[in-house]
């Protein structure tokens, strides 16, 4: 059974640019959650999508957005990049996202903003 | 506002020793408490989880102890091995369709 696939693995962007990250969940999983991981703040919740609908949203500015497609694949977009957006972005899939049970994480996308 | 407080930030343990990582929470609605293990370059992986209706859960060398009245839970790694060297995260979530809230992590180094 294939795991959660995140692409690309690494990205370097310039301040002010925008970026799109992709996440393909485990087959059959309908919930995809996104987290930002930084050394100082740990893992912080961005948003969760279930059946193409955003079901939960964390405390991030509107520059961070996402969507989910009918095949459960998800993308997140960050516009007008800032230096502070440099982080590891992780997505996690689960069957239905209920209670955060049995998240399976991808290996993440390392974003560096210069 | 950090909802799950994890300590220590880093931990060095001798091979064969016991590693202990502690977490505390305030939200009494939390009812699922997993621990995740993360190796460099990888995403976190679920290690073990507990619900508040039990005080302890053991899986191999890993044990979660849960104290509902104190709102604390901890991970014990018995007979720690160099291969256990990783970052460990505790987490919690209440019932319903709500996301996991993570502690800030503990970097464990097991030295021979």
pLDDT in tens, A1-44: 689 999 999 999 999 999 999 999 999 999 999 999 998 889 99
Give yes or no for a contact between A25 and A93, defined as CB atoms under 8 angstroms apart. Answer: yes
Residue B2's pLDDT is what? 58
Q: What is the DSSP letter of B42?
A: S
CB < 8 Å from B in window 60-89 of A: none
The residue among B89, B91, B90, B86 whose CA lies nearest residue B108 is B86
d(Cα B29, Cα B35) in Å, to the nearest integer? 18
Give yes or no for a contact between B26 and B3, defined as CB atoms under 8 angstroms apart. Answer: yes
Phi, psi of B60 (to 5 degrees): 65, -125
Residue A98's pLDDT is what? 67
Interface test with B, best of A44, A103, A108, A110 (most B CBs within 10 A): A103
- Candidate from A47-56, A80-89, B5-14 with smallest mean pLDDT: A47-56
Q: What residue spans of chain B are helical by DSSP H?
A: none
Beta partners for residue B108, in sequence order: B11, B86
% of residues, chain A, pLDDT over 70:
95
Beta partners for residue B73, in sequence order: B23, B66
- Tell me the nearest-neighbour CA distance from B108 into chain A, angstroms: 15
% of residues, chain A, pLDDT over 90:
86
d(Cα B62, Cα B83) in Å, to the nearest integer? 13
- Mean residue pLDDT of chain A comes to 93
Give yes or no for a contact between A77 and A66, defined as CB atoms under 8 angstroms apart. Answer: yes
């Amino acid at each position: 059974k294939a795991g959660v696939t995140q692409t690309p693995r690494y990205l370097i962007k310039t301040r002010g640019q925008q970026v799109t990250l992709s996440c393909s969940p485990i087959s059959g999983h309908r919930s995809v959650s996104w987290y930002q991981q930084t050394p100082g703040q740990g893992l912080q919740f961005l948003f969760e999508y279930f059946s193409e609908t955003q079901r939960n949203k964390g405390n991030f500015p509107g520059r961070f957005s996402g969507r989910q497609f009918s095949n459960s694949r998800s993308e997140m977009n960050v516009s007008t990049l800032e230096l502070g957006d440099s982080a590891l972005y992780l997505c996690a899939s689960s069957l239905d996202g209920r209670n955060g049970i049995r998240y399976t994480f991808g290996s993440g996308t390392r974003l560096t903003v210069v | 506002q950090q909802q799950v407080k994890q300590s220590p930030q880093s931990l060095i343990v001798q091979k064969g020793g016991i590693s202990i990582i502690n977490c505390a929470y305030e939200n009494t609605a939390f009812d699922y408490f997993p621990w995740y293990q993360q190796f460099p370059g990888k995403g976190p992986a679920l290690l073990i989880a507990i619900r508040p209706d039990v005080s302890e859960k053991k899986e191999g060398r890993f044990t979660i102890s849960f104290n509902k009245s104190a709102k604390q839970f901890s991970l014990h790694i018995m007979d720690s091995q160099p291969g256990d060297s990783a970052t460990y995260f505790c987490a919690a979530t209440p019932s319903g369709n709500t996301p996991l809230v993570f502690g800030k992590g503990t970097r464990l180094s097991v030295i021979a």
